[in-house]
Chain A
Amino acid sequence: MNSNKTHHREKIALLFFLLFLAMTGLMGRLIFLMIFRSEHYSAMASDLHERERTIKAARGNIIDASGTVIATNRTVCTISVIHNQVKKPDEVVAVLSKELGLNEAEIRKKVEKYSSREIIKTNVDKAMGDQIRSYHLAGVKVDEDYKRYYPYDTLASTVLGFTGGDNQGIIGLEVKYEQYLKGLNGKILTMSDAAGIEIENEAEDRIEPIAGQDLHISLDVNIQRYCEQAAYQVMEKKGAKRVSIIIMNPQNGEIMAMVNAPEFNLNDPFTLNTTTEVPANEKEKQDLLNKMWRNPCINDTYEPGSTFKIVTAAAGLEAGVVKLTDQFSCPGFRVVEDRKIRCHKVGGHGSETFLQGMMNSCNPVLIDVGQRLGVDNYYKYFEQFGLKGKTGIDLPGEASTIMHKKEDMGLVELATVSFGQSFQITPMQLITTASSLVNGGNRITPHFGVSTVSSDGKSVHSFTYPVKEGIVSKETSETMRYILEQVVSEGSGKKAKIEGYRIGGKTATSEKLPRSLKKYISSFIGFAPADNPKVIALITIDEPQGIYYGGTIAAPVIADIFKNIFPYLGIEPEEEKTVSTFRISG
């Protein structure tokens, strides 16, 4: 036994040593895990424990030129149930169905569904939310939330746009200025156990939301509302499909009104504004909604027709190929190559000066000016005036000009372009180009956005827009103003005349394609005062019934609008004599 004893002791000591080594190894492993991998595992554990709830940031208001808030937020509540925390399901079902007026079976299904959170109803009024909260039902959550609210319902609907479920802009200014308006959502970080129940007394990390910035725009509610009224009136009177009106400051491109009647209700943008077309299915309804949300002033192109003669005239004057006193003759048509192109006056205007040709809106005169310029020159001015590109307006989805390629443009195409046919531009492009031609030759960028102001009013950011100077000379611009004033005072646009004011303008009646349908867009572009334009307006009446001449139905609408907004804009009436004493230069 004794001989065994020593080797046993030796073995036991060896065993102890080996166990000591193993445990030391494990301690080493622990040091590795708890010191060197600590950060990694703590971060993963925190991810697991922290439940993040976002606090929505209030979206910035949209404020018009007069300081009126036209898009803001309303507090609404979301009612939801948390299955695990519901203690008295029957009471919960009874109260919720009574207060919210919902089907009891439906609510019961949601209450009994085993899920972390089941939403019962969204967009509940704050008052109702407070009332439900006052029951103190375990497991019923009332979360407050912001919802976009438009106090004027339909006002400038296609311009302002609306927001979606996550308060993100969907169309219009809401989407264009999303980054300024949306703000930064805050966060509440809470710790929770494996079942998702919040752990009490754990420090809550709260990151405050930053409210979005207020957007100040040049649109004026008063002008917009008056224009909307006028648009609806003419639309009803003429049985037109749509009426669009743009009112802009031609000096800097600030848009004061943009109407696309019929407008839709921004607080209910998913309901169609017409009852005549009943969609057969979801896809059709979506198509109709998309159509309703369109802003034809910038999203759609049309053949501008006679209003485009402004461009041809300006190009001709700028190139020096025509003077106001140049003599033309109109037999009622002009033959270009093998084509006979008619004037709107079947018998012809006879002998007339260039000025008279413009006043008469005579096609052969403008065809001749175009032919004198030639394709190369005409194309050069078309591009120089900025007609080839987009206007750069601060609204999404602006359509591009559809124009002949220069190499495909023959004399016939040149002739038709000269009086505004065979190519397409947006109404916005037309009014922007016309503004630039009468404001002294500065190509301005049309826009709504003026500035953004942070919610505390401390930080102000003003927007600047590019201006291309000298697209025509000051003299040409002055001559254009004179011509267009003559058009209104004695020519085809005389229905736009207002006693005591100097107004320039041009009418148009465009045929819609295909021409065989005999459908028209009547339009009028007008500005005032004619010697120093402060306001320019364009109206397009889509498919009027009965009389469809722009000079007859479109010009009076603008005259009416001008008459009403001039005092508001501070445009004073002047003496008649200035017109007659105007001297033609050159």
Chain B
Amino acid sequence: MAEKRPVVKKNRPRRFYDYSLLFTVIFLSVFGLIMIYSSSSYAAQLKFGNASFFMMKQAKIALGGFILMIIISKMDYHWYGKFAAFAYVLSYILMIAVSLFGKKFNGKRRWLGVGSLTFQPTEFVKIALIVMLAVMIVQMGKNINTKNGVALIIVTTLPIAGIVAANNLSSGIIIVGIAFVMLFVACKKKWPFFACGFAGVGLLAFAGPIATVLEKLNILHDYQLGRILVWLEPEAYPSTGGYQVLQGLYAIGSGGLVGRGLGESIQKMGFVPEAQNDMIFSIICEELGLFGAVSVILIFLFMIYRFMLIADNAPDLFGALLVVGVMGHIAIQVILNIAVVTNTIPNTGITLPFISYGGTSVLFLMAEMGMVLSVSNQIKLEK
């Protein structure tokens, strides 16, 4: 590996710091800001009279997040472990608080805060759970391979995931996914995980017939069946449920090989609702074409590859598990977001990490990156 090149002798052990990952994060954040500006400027100009409204807001938080990331990355990650239980309990408190006193936005209580300072507790839950599970798995040692060990992890995850899911289904799915990935890496067994994975894929493949049967048996509400049907055939429901998905597909399809060019999207002009949020990838497709879209995916893939390297070389299991948790988090969000935008899975609101607009999201993503960089910083280069 390039990083393990022969080192000049020094007194202090030379430590590694993953600049590749750092620059990937910087690149994605800046690219995200450009795309937010491109996709939101038209709507922002109409609504606020300021084309860069969303971009500037996001830029400030991203800058703050970046500083936070650098600070966290320079700390010893074992230190966060001490706060695991506290953060886990705080997650419950915040989630209960948000469902009681949260600010309503688009009919959903998802924001906590005073005045203009608001944040989404679900983002905090993700990072808290990653640390909590890592601590638990390390403490369990070999017990993680026993039924009790797995059960304990599940019992830790499901209640908080349930509370989150009640408020925000997609975040709940992501939290369960993170736990799944961490458990997968920690356990020696493979087949139960593959079985779950195949079951999930099978469910998607036969979603239409299964949903129809379930609806007939009165287990599924017809609006839920409706969502599945819209997913299977969005063009049949252009004005009702299929609108968002269809507008996204129009944007993606109009992109073609090289796209309309940066800033030239037409779908962002009110057709794709809140284009800077969940559907931003469709605008990337429209403006930058297949090349741009594939490049974005490749950058995420590179990022995940860096996570893998760091996890492999982490000084201990705790560090490795922290990185695996973050890796699972980002990978799941990227895959689910693109799958939703391309109508590969039914529509659910998941943001694209670093690129979609959202202050809380970018702040906590930066914190997670700080953790990963911190783990990387503990890697001793000489052996």
> Which residues does A use to contact B, with CB under 8 Å?
1, 4-5, 7-9, 11-16, 18-20, 22-23, 26-27, 29-31, 33-35, 37-42, 44-45, 48-49, 191, 193-195, 199
Determine if B256 is an interface residue (Cβ-Cβ < 8 Å): yes
Determine if B294 is an interface residue (Cβ-Cβ < 8 Å): yes
Are B297 and A26 interface neighbours, CB within 8 A? yes
- Residues on A with C-beta less than 8 A from B255 are 34, 38
- Residues on A with C-beta less than 8 A from B328 are 15
Contact with A along B239-271 (1 / 0, CB 8 A): 000000000011111111100000000110111
Contact with A along B16-38 (1 / 0, CB 8 A): 00000000000000000000000
Query: Which residues between 308 and 328 of chain B lie within 8 Å of chain A, taking CB atoms?
Result: 308, 311-312, 316-317, 320, 324, 327-328
Report which of A4, A29, A31 forms a contact with B317, defined as CB distance below 8 A: A4
Binds A, one of B115-123, B124-132, B216-224, B336-344: B336-344
The contact sample of 27 A-B pairs, CB cut-off 8 A, is A1-B317, A4-B317, A5-B317, A8-B185, A12-B308, A14-B190, A15-B184, A16-B304, A16-B305, A19-B304, A20-B304, A22-B335, A23-B338, A27-B297, A29-B339, A30-B252, A30-B290, A33-B253, A33-B285, A41-B252, A42-B253, A45-B253, A45-B254, A45-B266, A49-B271, A199-B266, A199-B269
Determine if B350 is an interface residue (Cβ-Cβ < 8 Å): no
Query: Shortest 4 CB-CB distances between A and B: which pairs?
Result: A41-B253, A194-B270, A193-B269, A45-B250
Are A26 and B344 interface neighbours, CB within 8 A? yes
Report which of B294, B331, B338 forms a contact with A19, defined as CB distance below 8 A: B331
- Residues on B with C-beta less than 8 A from A22 are 331, 335
Are A30 and B285 interface neighbours, CB within 8 A? yes
- Residues on B with C-beta less than 8 A from A30 are 252, 285, 290, 293-294, 297, 338, 342
What's the least CB distance linking B184 to chain A, in Å? 6
Determine if B54 is an interface residue (Cβ-Cβ < 8 Å): no
- Known A5-B317, A199-B269; further 6 A-B contacts with Cβ < 8 A: A15-B328, A23-B301, A31-B290, A33-B252, A34-B289, A191-B266
With CB as the reference atom, state the residue of chain A lying closest to B294.
A27
Check A15/B181 contact, CB under 8 A, given A30-B290, A34-B290, A38-B254. yes
What's the least CB distance linking B49 to chain A, in Å? 15
Determine if B108 is an interface residue (Cβ-Cβ < 8 Å): no
Determine if B355 is an interface residue (Cβ-Cβ < 8 Å): no
Q: Determine the distance from Cα of A155 to Cα of B310 in the docked complex, in whole angstroms.
A: 95
Determine if B88 is an interface residue (Cβ-Cβ < 8 Å): no
What's the least CB distance linking B322 to chain A, in Å? 12
Report which of B251, B269, B320, B342 forms a contact with A8, defined as CB distance below 8 A: B320
Q: Is the interface of A mostly helix, strand, loop or mixed?
A: helix
- Residues on B with C-beta less than 8 A from A9 are 312
Q: Determine the distance from Cα of A22 to Cα of B200 in the docked complex, in whole angstroms.
A: 13
What's the least CB distance linking A488 to chain B, in Å? 77
- Residues on B with C-beta less than 8 A from A26 are 297, 335, 338-339, 342, 344
Report which of B301, B324, B335 forms a contact with A15, defined as CB distance below 8 A: B324
- Residues on A with C-beta less than 8 A from B42 are 193
Determine if B300 is an interface residue (Cβ-Cβ < 8 Å): yes
Report which of A12, A35, A38 forms a contact with B320, defined as CB distance below 8 A: A12
Determine if B186 is an interface residue (Cβ-Cβ < 8 Å): yes
Report which of B257, B290, B316 forms a contact with A1, defined as CB distance below 8 A: B316
Q: Determine the distance from Cα of A119 to Cα of B153 in the docked complex, in whole angstroms.
A: 68
Q: Determine the distance from Cα of A19 to Cα of B302 in the docked complex, in whole angstroms.
A: 11
Determine if B334 is an interface residue (Cβ-Cβ < 8 Å): yes
What's the least CB distance linking A431 to chain B, in Å? 61
Q: Determine the distance from Cα of A581 to Cα of B316 in the docked complex, in whole angstroms.
A: 139
- Residues on A with C-beta less than 8 A from B290 are 30-31, 34-35
Q: Determine the distance from Cα of A26 to Cα of B335 in the docked complex, in whole angstroms.
A: 8
Report which of A15, A20, A23, A45 forms a contact with B267, defined as CB distance below 8 A: A45
Are B249 and A41 interface neighbours, CB within 8 A? yes
Determine if B188 is an interface residue (Cβ-Cβ < 8 Å): yes
Q: Determine the distance from Cα of A9 to Cα of B297 in the docked complex, in whole angstroms.
A: 24
What's the least CB distance linking A357 to chain B, in Å? 81
- Residues on B with C-beta less than 8 A from A199 are 266, 269
Q: Determine the distance from Cα of A38 to Cα of B250 in the docked complex, in whole angstroms.
A: 8
Report which of A12, A18, A45 forms a contact with B324, defined as CB distance below 8 A: A12
- Residues on B with C-beta less than 8 A from A8 are 185-186, 311, 317, 320
What's the least CB distance linking B288 to chain A, in Å? 11
With CB as the reference atom, state the residue of chain B lying closest to A25.
B344
Are B304 and A29 interface neighbours, CB within 8 A? no
- Residues on A with C-beta less than 8 A from B184 are 11, 15
Query: Which residues between 144 and 199 of chain B lie within 8 Å of chain A, taking CB atoms?
Result: 181, 184-186, 188, 190, 197
Q: Determine the distance from Cα of A42 to Cα of B257 in the docked complex, in whole angstroms.
A: 12
With CB as the reference atom, state the residue of chain A lying closest to B331.
A19
Q: Determine the distance from Cα of A42 to Cα of B260 in the docked complex, in whole angstroms.
A: 11
Check A34/B308 contact, CB under 8 A, given A8-B185, A15-B185. no
Are B344 and A13 interface neighbours, CB within 8 A? no
With CB as the reference atom, state the residue of chain B lying closest to A30.
B293
With CB as the reference atom, state the residue of chain A lying closest to B335.
A22
Q: Determine the distance from Cα of A207 to Cα of B92 in the docked complex, in whole angstroms.
A: 64
- Residues on A with C-beta less than 8 A from B142 are 4
Are A12 and B311 interface neighbours, CB within 8 A? yes
- Residues on B with C-beta less than 8 A from A44 are 250, 253
With CB as the reference atom, state the residue of chain B lying closest to A193.
B269
Are A35 and B252 interface neighbours, CB within 8 A? no
With CB as the reference atom, state the residue of chain A lying closest to B188.
A7
Q: Determine the distance from Cα of A71 to Cα of B363 in the docked complex, in whole angstroms.
A: 74
Q: Determine the distance from Cα of A49 to Cα of B253 in the docked complex, in whole angstroms.
A: 14
- Residues on A with C-beta less than 8 A from B185 are 8, 11-12, 15
- Residues on A with C-beta less than 8 A from B305 are 16
Are B254 and A33 interface neighbours, CB within 8 A? no
Report which of A7, A15, A40, A194 forms a contact with B327, defined as CB distance below 8 A: A15
Q: Determine the distance from Cα of A136 to Cα of B55 in the docked complex, in whole angstroms.
A: 36
Are B254 and A42 interface neighbours, CB within 8 A? yes
Check A34/B304 contact, CB under 8 A, given A23-B334, A48-B271. no
What's the least CB distance linking B368 to chain A, in Å? 16
Q: Determine the distance from Cα of A5 to Cα of B313 in the docked complex, in whole angstroms.
A: 10
Check A29/B342 contact, CB under 8 A, given A34-B256, A193-B270. yes
- Residues on B with C-beta less than 8 A from A15 are 181, 184-185, 308, 324, 327-328
- Residues on A with C-beta less than 8 A from B344 are 26, 29
- Residues on A with C-beta less than 8 A from B249 are 33, 37, 41
With CB as the reference atom, state the residue of chain A lying closest to B313.
A9
Are B271 and A194 interface neighbours, CB within 8 A? yes
- Residues on B with C-beta less than 8 A from A27 are 294, 297
Q: Determine the distance from Cα of A34 to Cα of B254 in the docked complex, in whole angstroms.
A: 7
With CB as the reference atom, state the residue of chain B lying closest to A202.
B266
With CB as the reference atom, state the residue of chain B lying closest to A36.
B253
Q: Determine the distance from Cα of A45 to Cα of B283 in the docked complex, in whole angstroms.
A: 13
Q: Determine the distance from Cα of A4 to Cα of B187 in the docked complex, in whole angstroms.
A: 9
- Residues on A with C-beta less than 8 A from B335 are 19, 22-23, 26
- Residues on B with C-beta less than 8 A from A193 are 42, 266, 269-271
